[in-house]
Amino acid sequence: MPSSVQDKSIASTLTAAGDWVKTRINNIDIFDEHHQVEARTNPFYALGPIFYLVWFIVMATGLILIMWYVPTKSAAFDSILNIQNGIPIGGLMRGMHKYGADAMIIAATMRLYRMFINADYKPSKEFNIAIALVTLLLAMYSGLSGYLLIWNQRAFWATKVFATFPTYMDQFVVMGDFYQPLYKSLHLGWNTAEVLLGGGAAITQNTMTRFFSLHLAFSLIPLIFVEIYFFHNAYVRVPLNWTKRSILILMIAFVAIALPAAQGSRSDPDVTPLPILSDWYFLGLYQMYKYLEPVVATYITMVIPVSVIALPFLDSAITGHEKNIMKRPFILMLTFMGAACWIVFSYLIIINIADIHYDPPFWRSFLYGTIDIGIIWQAVLMLTNKNMQEKAKGFMPAMIMFAICAIQTFVGYTYYYMALTEIFIDPIGHAALYGIARPTMGDTAKKVEAIVRKLHTTKNVGVPLNNEYWNYHVTLDPGYIKVLGEPAEKADLEELARLCQTKGPLDIIAHFIPTFETPAGPNGAFNAVKFTDPVKGPHPEYISMIDFMVNNRWTWDYCTLVDRLTPGLVKGGYPLTVPSVDWWWMIGGPLAGVASLLAGLQANLVKKSLAQSPKPAAPVAAA
C-alpha cells in the first residue's frame, strides 16, 4: 500500500475514533438532565433530579452536624450521643443525614437499573452507564466512610473487614509479592490499605482522620464539579416543582423522626461481633466474601464494575438500537441475576447462614445459568426472526455471544481442575503455562521436576524464609554460605542450578522479565549477607525460561496439579469430586455457545442468499 494511502487510512481511522468518543461525551447524562420532560410525568426519570436534591439535603445536614461532631476515637461516640439527645433537632438532622444518604443510594441504584431496562444508553450513550455507576459508588463509599465516624461496635468491625481487603491484591500476579523473587513488589494492596487506615492493619486515630476527610471529599468535591457542569451548560438542576420537592424532604424528615438513627454500642477492638455486618448496601458483598477465598473475592469485586461498564457496549453490539427489554433477554437476565444475588445474599448474611461447602455450587449455577438462558433466548429470537434483512445482520452479534460462551466454557474447564485438586486461579494458571512450555524443555523437564518434588518433601532445605520457594541462587552463593552455612540438600540444589542453565527456544522471553531481586532481599532479610555481587545481588536476571519457571513456582504448581490428578498418589483423597450442581453451569456455557453458533451460521446463510438474489429492475422512465 502506498505511503500516502496508508496515511489517509490512519487519519480516517483516528477521525472516526475521535468522532465516536466525542458523540458519546456530548450525550452524557449526569442526573437525567436530557430527560427533564419525561421527569415531569414519569417518576423513574426523576431519579436523577431526586438524587441531586437529596445530595444537597445530606450536605446541608452534614455541615450542621460538623458543628458538634468530634472526630477522635475518644470523643466521637459521645459526641454522636450528644447530637442525638442533647442538641435541639440534633436527632432530626442526624436522621435526615443518614436516611438521606440511604435515599441517594436507593435512587442511584434504581436509576442504574432503569437505564439497563429502558436502554437509556442507546443510541450512542454508553458512557452514561459509567457515569451512573460512579455516582452510585461515590454514594456508597461516602456512606462507608461516614459509617465508621459513629465509632460503634458494628461500624468498627465492618470497616476493619472492608478496609483491609485491598491487602489481598498483594497476592495478584506480577503486582503482588506472592513470590519471593519479586523482592521489589509494588505492594499495591498494602499501600492502598495504608492510605485508607493510616496505621497498618489496625484502625487507629489516623483511620478516623482519613475517613472523616474522605467522607467530606466524596461528597463535596464531586458536587463542585457537577455544579460547574450544570452552570456551564445552563441546565435546570432539579426540574421538579416545589410541591414535589417538599414532599421528598418531608418524607426523609418523617422517617428520621419515626425511626431515629441507630446508635449501637461503643466499639470494642477486643470483642468480635458475629456476624460482622456492614450497612445494608454492602451486605451482599460481605456474604460473597464468606463463600470465596479472599483473593478470589477481591478479583470479583474489581471485575463487577468493569463488567457493568462493558455491558451497554455488548448490548448495543448484539441488539443494535432495540430498546424493548423483552427483545433484549441477555440484558434482562443479567439485570435479574444482579438484583436476585444482592437481595438473597443480603438476606442470608442477616440471618447468619453461610455454608461455604454447600451453597457456592448453587449460586454459581444460578449466576452463570441466568447468563446462558439470556443468550439462548437471544439466539432463539434471532433464529425465529421473520425479517430477513434484520436476520442477515445477526452474524456478528451471534459471534459476540459465542465469545461470551467460550469464555464461560474456559472458566468452567478451569474450575473443573480447581475443584478436583483444590488449586486456585493463579497456581493452576502457572501449571497450565508450564505444561504448554514443557515440550520445549526436552528431558530436562523430568529431571527438574524430580528434584523439585524431592526438595519440597524435605523439611529443611536451607531456605530461610519459606521452604516452598526455591532461592537456590541465594542459598548457593558463597556469601550466603559464609554467613548462614551450607544449605541442606546442597547437591540437589547444585544440580537444580545446573539444569536451570539449560537453554531453550523460550529463553528470549525470560531475558525481558525482571527478577526484582536486590542484595537486601525481601524486607531486608539478607542485610547480614555479603553476596558475591554486592550491587546486583545473587540473581539479577533469569538465565533461562526454566530458571524463571522454577523460581516463580510454576514447576511446583505443575507437579502439584499432576500429582493431585493421579488417584491415590497424594494424601487428602485427591482427585476430589466435582459437586453435581456445578455441572449445570459448566454444561450451560457450551449449550448456549452452540445456540449462538447456529444463529450466526443462519444469519450468514441469509446474508449470502440476499446478496445473490436478483435485484428488482429499475423503473423505466416515461417517454
Map grid coordinates 491487602 to a residue: 167
Whether 386 maps to a domain, the answer reads no
d(CA 354, CA 347): 11
Domains identified in the chain, total number: 2
Residue 179 lies in a domain: yes
pLDDT of residue 353: 79
Last residue of a domain, one of 279, 298, 323: 323
CA angle 418–421–424, rounded 5-degree value? 40
In sequence order, the 6+-apart residues with CB closer than 8 A to the CB of 331 are 116, 117, 119, 311, 315, 319, 325, 374
Grid cell 550466603 in the structure block, residue: 480
Q: Are residues 307 and 455 in the same domain?
A: no
Q: Which residues of the chain have pLDDT under 50?
A: 176-184, 460-469, 623
The answer to the question of residue 203 being in a domain is yes
Question: Nearest CA to 202 among 169, 140, 159, 142?
Answer: 159
Residues 111, 238 share a domain: yes
- Does residue 379 form part of some domain? no
For residue 25, give every residue at least 6 positions away whose Cβ sits within 8 Å of its Cβ, in sequence order, or none.
127
| CA distances for 208 relative to 137, 159, 215, 579, angstroms | 21, 11, 10, 45
Residue 159's pLDDT is 80
- Do residues 130 and 254 both lie within one domain? yes
Residue after which a domain boundary falls, among 539, 565, 591: 565
Does residue 260 fall inside a structural domain? yes
- Say what the pLDDT of residue 519 is: 82
DSSP-assigned states of every residue in 41-108: T-GGGGHHHHHHHHHHHHHHHHHHHHTT---STTTHHHHHHHHHHTSTTHHHHHHHHHHHHHHHHHHH
Same domain, residue pair 174 and 299: yes
Same domain, 444 and 317: no
Among residues 273, 308, 323, the one where a domain terminates is 323
Note whether 300 and 436 are same-domain residues.
Answer: no
Q: Would you call the peptide bond into 275 cis, given omega within 30 degrees of 0 as the criterion?
A: yes
- What does the pLDDT read at residue 5? 65
Give me the pLDDT at residue 288, please: 84
pLDDT of residue 334: 95
Strands (E), 182-319: none
Angle between helices 329-350 and 294-319 (to 10 degrees): 150
At 404-426, the pLDDT tens digits run: 999 999 999 999 999 999 988 77
Q: Residue 540's domain spans which residues?
A: 428-565
- Together in a domain, 442 and 306: no
**Residue partners of 561: CB distance under 8 A and separation at least 6:** 417, 421, 423, 427, 428, 431
Q: What is the pTM of this model?
A: 0.85
CATH of the domain at 138: 1.20.810.10
In a domain? residue 380: no
In a domain, 383, yes or no: no
Identify whether 101 is part of a domain. yes
Task: Indicate if 311 and 455 belong to the same structural domain.
Answer: no
pLDDT at 282 (0 to 100): 85
Q: Which residue has the cell 438476606?
A: 347
pLDDT at 256: 95
